[in-house]
Structure 1
Amino acid sequence: MKTPVDLFTDKVHLLTHAERHVLAYIEAHIGEAKRMSLTEMAEVNNVSTTTVVRMCHHLGLNGFAELKYVLRDHHSTSVAKADNIVDQYKYIMEHALNSIDGRVIEEITDAMKDAVRIVVVAIGLTKPLGEYLSKKLMQMNQTSTYVYELHMIHLLPSWIEEEDLVLCISSSGEVELLLDLIEQLNGRRIRSVAITNTTSSSLAQLTSLSINARVPKASYAGFDITVRATLTLLLDMLFESYIRKTRKP
């Protein structure tokens, strides 16, 4: 299992000495850390609460509450049994909504509006979501192509045009085929968007724009039960924003 430092490898260099001390404490006492309040975390490390919050910001988080959420999900990604599954999903959806940046939605839908053609790429369990978005765009007479077959994804860089926009839907954002695709598109200066369930996936770091719902990966009895309804939520928000920009009431 990755340590907290591993989770934020690309951000650790931004931390001050005091902030690194706090992160080191969390790594050594993750069980206690995920239950601590902001004040308790500051006191046990002999720093100010401002230092702890600033550390969170330097790690790319919104604040201490989000750090605790990440630590909880990191510490236990295998779900044994939910006491109340409805409450569990309420929590996941509420956190997802709180993590979505409206400005990013605007940026993505501006890119969609300017594109001559929108190419939606989705494979595996997210394949139906790619078809869902593509069909909604087609209903608006927006030129849209849905790509899900592996050989077509390999061929995509050969027929894509500079004015096109590629939307990649992936829960993990770590699918090697999609990463290779985006690297090729970057070489041709083709704009791309990552729509994922993870905070800082490899896919999100490669694409021109990205949006995510920050949902923890979860499993039960060996089955992947990671919530993907959040991806549908993101697609619906993007589609409505796109309609608002391109159609008059």
Structure 2
Amino acid sequence: MDLETVVMKKKESFNDTDKAIVSYLLKYPKEASKLSLMELAQKLYVSKSAIFRLSKKLGLSGFSELKFELSELIARKEQYTKHAQELDFDDNLQKIINDTFKYFKGLDLHDLCADLDQAETIYIYSTGWQQQIIAEYLAHSFYLIGKNAIILPSARDEVSMLGQAAKENDMLFVISFGGFNKTIIEELKKIDVINNKLKLVSLTSWQPGKLASLSDYSFFFKTTPFQFSKKVETFSSAYVLIDLIINEYEKQRKLQK
């Protein structure tokens, strides 16, 4: 039995009380399935007999069978949501990667490549655990092309000390999801006062934040949630963007030889 389909077929026979009960059941099936007959009646300000009569109108034996159908409805919705998320993730990831290539093709990296070529040391700072993994990937990419890259520990003091330690032509890559980390932004402002020769490159999510506005070069990546969790995002776009930038740097360096 499909509870939603049955409700649509029987809706013409519903009175106002039936409509109120059905509206709640379909909107909050998980919550309703956890309530007893008495609790549901009290919550909706209706009688127990009104719920029982509605169950009969729907072709059910009583409240127990109604709760079973609610459980089935919940299972179908969860399965549909999971399937939709799987489709959305695949489609969204493909779109994001395509958008990354389009975005990259519109960039002029001539000055960045020139600064990278002059940089004796490249510092990399990140503001989260996923960003830390990206930082390691970026450092490894620089290592492969013979550039000295140092990953800074994720501590405020490390950024503060960089203003004193960095040399002319050195570069600092900051990887941040949102680009709005107030603590880091304040420290970067101080560094700019102490050492305005340090080139700042930001790699942040698609929405430009304060970090991007402070940077000599700013790059953006897109994310999308994994199908199993809306709290965990894929950063595939960032890795693709790094590969494209590194490859472009090598192309321009070879052209100059």
Q: TM-score, normalised by structure 1?
A: 0.59
Gaps of 5+ in 2: 1-80
In 2, Cα distance between equivalents of 1:112 and 1:201 = 24
The residue that corresponds to 2:215 in the other structure is: 207
The residue that corresponds to 1:170 in the other structure is: 176
The 1:233/1:156 distance shift into structure 2, 3 A limit, reads: same
Matched, 1:109 2:113: yes
Shift of 1:246: 3.0
Larger Rg: 2
Matched, 1:234 2:241: yes
- Aligned sequence identity (%): 14
Task: Write the letter of the residue equivalent to 1:176.
Answer: K
Task: Write the letter of the residue equivalent to 1:131.
Answer: E
8 Å Cα contact 1:96-1:230 kept in structure 2: yes
Matched, 1:135 2:140: yes
Q: What does the per-residue CA deviation read over 1:155-194, in whole Å, with 9 as the maximum and x for residues that have no partner?
A: 2222112221111112211222331232123212121111
In 1, Cα distance between equivalents of 2:153 and 2:133 = 9
Task: Write the letter of the residue equivalent to 2:250.
Answer: I
Shift of 1:208: 1.0
Shift of 1:204: 0.5
Query: Following superposition of structure 1 onto structure 2, how do residues 21-60 of structure 1 map, counting pairs within 5 Å?
Result: none
Shift of 1:112: 1.0
8 Å Cα contact 2:180-2:210 kept in structure 1: yes
Shift of 1:94: 1.9
Match of 1:156 among 123, 147, 162: 162
8 Å Cα contact 1:168-1:178 kept in structure 2: no
SS of the residue corresponding to residue 166 of structure 1 reads: strand
8 Å Cα contact 1:104-1:211 kept in structure 2: no
The residue that corresponds to 1:40 in the other structure is: none
Q: What does the per-residue CA deviation read over 1:82-125, in whole Å, with 9 as the maximum and x for residues that have no partner?
A: 26121121122222322335433333222211222211112312
Query: Following superposition of structure 1 onto structure 2, how do residues 71-90 of structure 1 map, counting pairs within 5 Å?
Result: 82=85, 84=87, 85-90=89-94
Matched, 1:197 2:200: no
Q: What does the per-residue CA deviation read over 1:30-57, in whole Å, with 9 as the maximum and x for residues that have no partner?
A: xxxxxxxxxxxxxxxxxxxxxxxxxxxx
In 2, Cα distance between equivalents of 1:112 and 1:191 = 9
SS of the residue corresponding to residue 202 of structure 2 reads: strand
The residue that corresponds to 1:92 in the other structure is: 96
Task: Write the letter of the residue equivalent to 2:241.
Answer: L
The 1:162/1:128 distance shift into structure 2, 3 A limit, reads: same
In 1, Cα distance between equivalents of 2:133 and 2:176 = 11
The residue that corresponds to 1:26 in the other structure is: none
Structure number having the greater helix percentage: 2
The residue that corresponds to 1:245 in the other structure is: 252
**How large is the RMSD of aligned CA atoms in angstroms?**
2.8
Task: Write the letter of the residue equivalent to 2:192.
Answer: N
The residue that corresponds to 2:14 in the other structure is: none
Query: Following superposition of structure 1 onto structure 2, how do residues 210-229 of structure 1 map, counting pairs within 5 Å?
Result: 210-213=218-221, 215=222, 223-229=230-236
Q: What does the per-residue CA deviation read over 1:209-236, in whole Å, with 9 as the maximum and x for residues that have no partner?
A: 11113x2675989853333111111111
Gaps of 5+ in 1: 1-78
The 1:158/1:244 distance shift into structure 2, 3 A limit, reads: same
